[in-house]
Structure 1
């Protein structure tokens, strides 16, 4: 019943905001167009406002799970028209807090002690609230100021219900829309499901925070708060409380004389370091999750929060991305097109010259502008729209990376409008490629695999001998096949089979099991039996 009521609410929201007209102009089967034409609200409720704004308002009306899904979709310009993608970036994850007494009971149930025993002080009034969890301030008995993150009660059931409906919608889109298979909506929902359920386990977020802290241990550009593992549970996490200036508070940053240019460049450096050096990056770097330390404004240091969503890339994806970026910087569009083919991002039969021409038509006008006016994020989105014409398949593993890159560039330009993202990134990528492809890269890979190689070394002679034997057996088999191929085709008698048939016939005859035949049949019967014997005994050469 709850799912039925939820479906009724979704239908009402779709009708209220006239979301059906999002499909106008989309290539749909006749039965889908007929069903849309029969919707009664198309003739009763007028569409007020732009379609993108109506979609955003509808998602906000449907609640936090749909808001988060819309935020993820806002990064997918390969899925959405530009106006819709731009409007979805305005979605706000603002949810009223739940009762502080509920939070206290959740903490006590999870950690097995009363709040008074766990903390010297605990503020039941939440410091911040979001769709999945809310945060309270507290003080440990040892004196450290901490924040206590508590999962919202009942959110698991709500998420399961809404994700199930999203799957139904994804299957419907994949079935009735001609581009549904290429865009892989079911995989997009599956990726979202994994992300949202990972956020429900605060032990995973705590592990992400600890990993990121190790990666930037001693760094002057990024600080990650400490996790208190003794106070961390699946639905409760305790972390060091930080005191900084929110990255969105530009006036506060100006008042402390922050070096905005250095701050913007360090944001780019942090992103590329996480992606290419560590292959482990914070994938939810919106302004609400980023602070700036007050300690040394002339040498600004970022502070990261909220580690529920992180991303990683395979070495192959890292290499292809770095080579793509560098090819863009050098205007080597042929290399960009070829890399897309090599990586399998576009179908193997794509004409590389046509693809190169399409890429050039997007990128070349941009390069005519001063570098400081170039938006790498917009170039990336333009390329996705171009690749759509060449049946480029959505890459789910790159969703978080695209989102993070656009967030970083937007943040950097807000802090320092003259930020030259390409000039900042190019030296880093060139150095990374030299380390990966040069002598140092070979030495590092050899050093990493040394224990494995040493362990396998005693087995090498046996493996080598077995490999040689397999090669020898394969050569023998190929030789036999070649001999059989060269033999003249025809029929021959299979003597063992003929002998077996005669033996069976003799045994049957001696036992008297053969029926009596009329006197005029013996010669015909003998001829028929002989013919049958020959046929059954023949085999093809």
Structure 2
């Protein structure tokens, strides 16, 4: 018997969805996960602790459910901030590979999309697919003008299947979030929202073409190529792209036997990935070796822009602030950013600062070339899990991309130091932050803040005057801020945000006896408050 939440009210499922739901229930039982299903609200048997479920059984279940579940599992595989290493290892084995459909099945789809017969547009067309996934399959072909191309065609009915399964996943996730604290910490509804946007882009084969074009323009400066698309024949269900001739980077043995400068290619790859993320803000989110080609002319190419990420300027600023805080060993500043990303949860801030302080100190005296980003990320993820802090999905994608990149360049050249590639990037960031345009923008923010402060000055002065007249001061400190004060005292560190408040109180105390000094303190308090506000932005 299914949970009534799944059957009643405005979220009642249609008949076909109920049939699909029944199939999924059977799959839970087949993989020995009845207890897990019960805890999720599906009522298949006696309840058991959620963490008793075997990761391998869950992976097999997701594989059997189908494309939506497999791709969601792949999204979870990049969330080391949420899941323990054994879950990440198991989910990372999820393969989005299925047997290709017969050409007779996909041929009508191709001809409908291109507006004519295959023979009228292609000099040759290979009936057997060279690759197949749950969303689309790929065929090699030659256009009438002699160009070798790849034809990617979406599997028939996949959009309807994924949409139905996604609705069921979100319904179950909302129930589980209410019932199970371990699930609630994962913020499943937010994860599934992000996943729905990602898979919708992946099913739009025209979006892949647009991303390849726009990001490809940026990558030209690094000598990295992306495939050109035939826009007259490409759309949401079919795209036709240039076929590269060269070696897939996944075949490193063959690459090492050839006449290729792998160290130079690794540097090019690393610079391209880092600049895409930090400077361009629009990046290839799955740059694993299978999506990288070493071309015959010795250059590098990226393919398959089905998965892309976006790093908004606001988020990039937060990453820069985080980097500066780490460089200055400002643990309090690091905690501020992490709590901002996690939605400002109620955590033991003192213990969190101590854990991060230990991590920063561990690497403070290590030579740059000896730093392994993978090790650092593992430690940071362990801290995030320990304190139940979750990263926003866009940042999780950034970190997954960085880890993929570092793992790849170290496979190419075990002595390669990706952290050294950050040096020129840091200089570029500093030039950007001190550019005239940037300074004009910051000046505009400052004047706006001054304007707001000027409007609130009468109220502030009135409060100071009232304190001086009555001789009493009312101070209100939130429990969380009191903990921060205690933590700062233990660590002998001052919190910059407290300075304006402290100066304001001093000004109020001195107003009756030393009005001029009190006035100076009040002005200084306002200036510091404005400075902190601008800095936080």
Given the two structures, how large is their TM-score scaled by the length of structure 2? 0.73
Q: Does 1:435 align with 2:431?
A: yes
> What's the secondary structure of 1:231's corresponding residue?
coil
Q: Distance in 2 between matches of 1:444 and 1:121?
A: 54
2: distance between equivalents of 1:155 and 1:348? Answer: 39
- 2:40/2:180 contact within 8 Å kept: no
The equivalences for 1:155-304 within 5 A come to 155-220=158-223, 222-296=224-298, 301-304=299-302
Structure 1, unaligned stretches of length 5 or more?
24-30, 454-466, 483-541
Distance 2:370 2:35 in 1: 35
Structure 2: distance between partners of 1:71 and 1:375: 24
8 A Cα contact 2:347 2:387, kept in partner = yes
In structure 2, the partner of 1:464 is: none
Equivalent in 388, 395, 407 of residue 404 of structure 2? 407
- How far off is 1:5 after superposition? 3.6
What is the alpha-carbon distance in structure 2 between the residues aligned to residue 335 and residue 372 of structure 1? 25
Tell me the secondary structure at the aligned position of residue 417 of structure 1. Answer: coil
Q: Any idea what SS the aligned residue of 1:347 has?
A: coil
Deviation at 1:437, TM superposition (A): 2.0
| C-alpha contact (below 8 Å) 2:130/2:140 kept by paired residues | yes
Deviations 1:458-515 (A, max 9, x none): xxxxxxxxx99x979x989x99xx9xxxxxxxxxxxxxxxxxxxxxxxxxxxxxxxxx
For residue 353 of structure 1, report the CA deviation from its aligned partner: 4.3
Measured at CA, do residues 15 and 373 of structure 1 come closer, stay the same or move farther in structure 2, by a change above 3 Å?
A: farther
- Whether the aligned pair in 2 keeps the contact of 1:123 and 1:138 (CA below 8 Å) is yes
CA contact 1:271–1:408 (8 Å) conserved in 2: yes
Residue 372 of structure 1 deviates from its aligned partner by: 5.3
* Residue 146 of structure 1 pairs with residue 149 of structure 2: yes
**How far, CA to CA, are the matches of 2:370 and 2:94 in structure 1?**
26
Distance in 2, matches of 1:90 and 1:412, equals 21
Aligned equivalent of 2:29: 15
How far did 1:147 drift? 1.0
Distance 1:367 1:244 in 2: 42
Shift of 1:186: 0.4
Q: CA RMSD in A?
A: 3.6
Give the structure 2 partner of residue 322 of structure 1: 320
8 Å contact kept, 2:103–2:128: yes
Moved over 6 A (4+): 33-37, 367-370
Offset of residue 4 of structure 1: 3.2
Shift in Å at residue 346 of structure 1? 5.3
In the alignment, structure 1 residue 387 sits paired with structure 2 residue 384: yes
Q: Give yes or no for the alignment of 1:74 onto 2:70.
A: no
Q: Deviations over 1:83-116 (max 9, x none)?
A: 1012211221111101112222111111211111
User: Is residue 17 of structure 2 the alignment partner of residue 3 of structure 1?
Assistant: yes
SS of residue paired to 2:293: strand
Whole-Å Cα distance in 2 between the matches of residues 73 and 435 of structure 1? 37
Q: Per-residue displacement from partner, 1:330-359 (whole Å, max 9, x unpaired)?
A: 654343223334x45352765654322111
Q: Is the 8 Å Cα contact of residues 129 and 135 (structure 1) preserved in structure 2?
A: yes
Q: Give the distance between the partners of 2:415 and 2:135, measured in 1 at CA.
A: 37
8 Å Cα contact 1:104-1:124 kept in structure 2: no
Deviations 1:517-536 (A, max 9, x none): xxxxxxxxxxxxxxxxxxxx
Contact kept? 2:113, 2:238, Cα under 8 Å: yes
CA 1:328 to 1:429, structure 2 compared with 1: closer, same or farther past 3 Å?
farther
What is the aligned partner in structure 2 of residue 396 from structure 1?
A: 393
For 1:288 and 1:194, how far apart are their aligned partners in 2? Answer: 24
1:103 paired residue among 101, 106, 119:
106
In 1: Cα distance, 2:241 partner to 2:139 partner: 11
* Secondary structure, counterpart of 1:232 in structure 2: coil
User: Structure 1 CA distance, aligned partners of 2:199 and 2:415?
Assistant: 36
Are 1:146 and 1:238, in contact at CA under 8 Å, matched by a contact in 2? yes
Contact 2:206–2:235 (CA under 8 A) maintained in structure 1? yes
SS at match of 2:222: coil
- Partner SS state of residue 7, structure 1: helix
Distance 1:13 1:142, change over 3 A: same
1:149-207 deviations in Å (ceiling 9; x for gaps): 11111101110121112102210221112254443210100111111111111121111
Q: Cα 1:327–1:412, aligned 2, differ >3 Å: closer, same or farther?
A: farther
Please give the per-residue CA displacement for 1:294-343, whole angstroms capped at 9, x wherever unaligned: 212xxxx32111112211112121122133235445654343223334x4
In 1, Cα distance between equivalents of 2:264 and 2:284: 20
Q: Is the 8 A contact 1:138 1:148 kept in 2?
A: yes
1:360 aligns with 2:350: no
Secondary structure of 1:150's counterpart equals strand
Identify if the C-alpha distance between structure 1 residues 162 and 355 changes in structure 2 by more than 3 Å, giving closer, same or farther. Answer: same
Partners of 1:72 and 1:403 within 8 A in 2:
no
Assess, with a 3 A threshold, how the Cα gap between structure 1 residues 418 and 18 changes in structure 2: closer, same or farther: farther
Rg (Cα) greater in structure = 1
Aligned in 2, Cα 1:9/1:286: closer, same or farther, shift over 3 Å? Answer: farther
